[in-house]
Amino acid sequence: MNTVQNQTPFDRPMFFVGGDWIGPSTDERHVALEAATEEPIGIAAMAGPADIDAAVAAARAALESGPWARSTAAERAEAMRRFADAWDKRADLATTLVSRENGMPIALSRQTNGLGPAGHLRRNADLVENFPLEALRPSTRGATIVRREPVGVVAAITPWNFPLGLALSKLAPALAAGCTVVLKPSPETALDSYLLADAAMEAGLPAGVLNIVLADREAGAYLVSHPGVDKVAFTGSTAAGRAIGAECGRLIRRCTLELGGKSASIVLDDADLDTFVAGLDGASFMNNGQTCTLQSRILAPRSRYDEIVEAVADFASGLVVGDPLDPATTCGPMASKAHQERVLGYIEAARASSARLITGGGRPAGHDRGWFVEPTVFADVDNSDRLAREEVFGPVLAIIAYDDEADAVRIANDSDYGLAGSVWTQDEARGIDVARRMRTGTIGVNYYAIDFNSPFGGLKASGIGREYGPEGLSSYLDYKSIYTSADHLPA
């Protein structure tokens, strides 16, 4: 973080609070650097406690006394559709900006950061219009009206790897439920979230419903513990999630935590290797490996071990490393120098172990600028090795041998995490049976792709709560029971 004088078209020197742009209370600035070139893109103001106070106060006022407080589900749905329409005009800019910030290949950025936000808004708008927010039940003394009401002010804290898609995974259901939001994006992607503010203003979203303040971890912790916040929705590391969960537990405050993973991909002995290899990009290498659902442990049967190792290595070595804005690129840089060094540190530690390096293993030749890491595959990894236990969050895979199906399930479940996974087999019924025995929140059979109409989230150290679908909307609602006379019951 630095103070700079030069300005670019992407500079964001103010915060979006109460429906308007306000100046920061501090002179601290973050310089956003392009992942592929290490050149400055723009600067953004960093929030202090006073800025967090202002954002929470604006959200609280909109919740309690603004037009949003009196809005119906249909009115919120209509506002969200206007928001989505306004976002569509900014989708191309958002796509490119995120790829410059975090190195995401442009085709993936178009889906997750360009088109994704509007999709989340429209899906949740449709969902809330058909979601029963009030129901009548007979009771022993008469009748009970069971209401679902907004949980309140939501602190949405989002990471840098899928910054806009993950912001809307929280913002869209919160808005649909009638909540108001303070969004704190990650400094590593400091600039793109403010495009949401531009779209919200064009859509006429009421003042204070959405507030955006960029902040570091210290100010983020202040937001988590703020007395004006009713719920925290967080996506990020397990270490940070533990701290947030502990604070929310102390405060008896609701939270949804979508955390890390070290997921397993089980290749059964009857798997079709062409199908498996075709799914590696989405399951095990998505977004340069900077994906929480990454299946970075490949479990291979000893009877087919060598051919699976060869197939994975061939795929990894065939990835095109380069400029994320080039449509031909399939593996861009890491999001920051610090993260590049972290990933390279895991590779060096694995090289010093008994694991066998098959391909990759360092910084790719010809990429002296930018935070690039070669797609890397290690074979002969033991599930007790650090490479198999900890989340690398980069393009680094560990291949582990297993004896039989029961052994594969045991190894897959022998993890602190439980977020994702996949099973590869020509017998889908067999694959589903294996999937049912794996302790994980989501799992694919012969492919892995998140379904936004179904619940997503993790077990164990991978998190608490669920996002997406009606379950995701429900997490932003509280229940109230109103005891009444039987006169309200149908005749």
Positions marked catalytic: 258
Q: Supply 376's token pair.
A: 């890397």
Q: Hey, which bits of 10-152 come out as E strands?
A: 15-17, 20-22, 29-33, 40-45, 134-138, 143-150
Task: Supply angle C-alpha 58, 62, 67, rounded to 5.
Answer: 150
CA distance linking residue 239 with residue 227, whole number of Å: 23
CA distance linking residue 215 with residue 451, whole number of Å: 31
Residue from 416, 469, 451, 474 nearest 124 by CA: 469
Q: Supply 346's token pair.
A: 């895991």
How many other β-carbons are positioned within 10 Å of the β-carbon of residue 319? 20
Question: In angstroms, what CA-CA distances link 222 with 44, 89, 244?
Answer: 19, 34, 11
CA distance linking residue 363 with residue 339, whole number of Å: 13
**What single-letter DSSP state applies at residue 456?**
B
Helix axes 163-177, 116-129, angle to 10 degrees: 20
The one-letter code for the residue type at 248 is C
Strands 356-359 and 376-379 turn out to be antiparallel
Chain centroid offset of residue 399 CA: 25
Sign of CA dihedral 354, 341, 413, 431: negative
How many other β-carbons are positioned within 10 Å of the β-carbon of residue 412? 27
Report the DSSP beta bridge partners of residue 235.
258
Strands 463-464 and 254-258 turn out to be antiparallel
Residues 454 and 467 sit within 8 Å (Cβ to Cβ):
no
